Structure 1
């Protein structure tokens, strides 16, 4: 597994980590201090903002886990990857593609796009 794939897999581990202390450690290891995240539903800045965003998504989709849905594609300081959110042993309820900017081996910015999502979660 290459460094870029390991970084993105840590990104997914953050979304799935329910232990607050372990999640904060993963965030510090994976994201730069000035990190930003944006998708059609939420925006977050810095480690505290990213942690709060993940906690909110975990509450909204309790029992679901994020999974990488293909290979990580990257060049220079950029990466893109597909993902799915699904309950264990069931079909995906949401999915999309994220684009990342990387600095010093960590995520500096992630922009997410939704390909499909539950009606209640879709932006209007």
Structure 2
């Protein structure tokens, strides 16, 4: 297995969330994610509390495969980036341990450039260096 630079992996991963062209976004998803990849999101605290109140001990949101990940990314793009409110950027300091990459990202106000949020991503890579599992922890 080759070991690409983890910061390069982070940059490619974040770029697809900012991509305005649906065809280029889909191609980026296919380049970055393995075909049967899983994207697993830990929702914000208020959603976890509502789920716990309804008797759900664990609340995660999941998308599996290119098609579902494309829907997830497109909706995120429309809500945050396409609205003109925000852009995402990788933070420096991505690290890699064997097939696992840990990275942080920032949500930035498009107009001011001010950091307004972000999160942590844990990416598990397959033998080809593509994301097989993506664990997203926003709000950190």
SS of equivalent residue, structure 1 residue 96: strand
Q: TM-score, normalised by structure 1?
A: 0.84
Matched, 1:107 2:126: no
Contact 2:7 2:92 survives alignment (8 Å): no
SS of equivalent residue, structure 1 residue 93: strand
Matched, 1:9 2:32: no
- Which residue pairs with 2:55 in the alignment? none
The structure with the larger Rg is: 2
Deviation at 1:46, TM superposition (A): 0.7
- Which residue pairs with 1:94 in the alignment? 117
Candidates 52, 68, 76, aligned match of 1:57: 76
SS of equivalent residue, structure 1 residue 71: coil
Larger fraction in strand: 1
2-side partners of 1:18 and 1:78: how far apart? 28
Q: Which runs of 5+ in 2 are unaligned?
A: 44-60
Count of residues paired in the alignment = 115
Q: Which runs of 5+ in 1 are unaligned?
A: 117-124
Matched, 1:21 2:45: no
1-side partners of 2:106 and 2:5: how far apart? 21
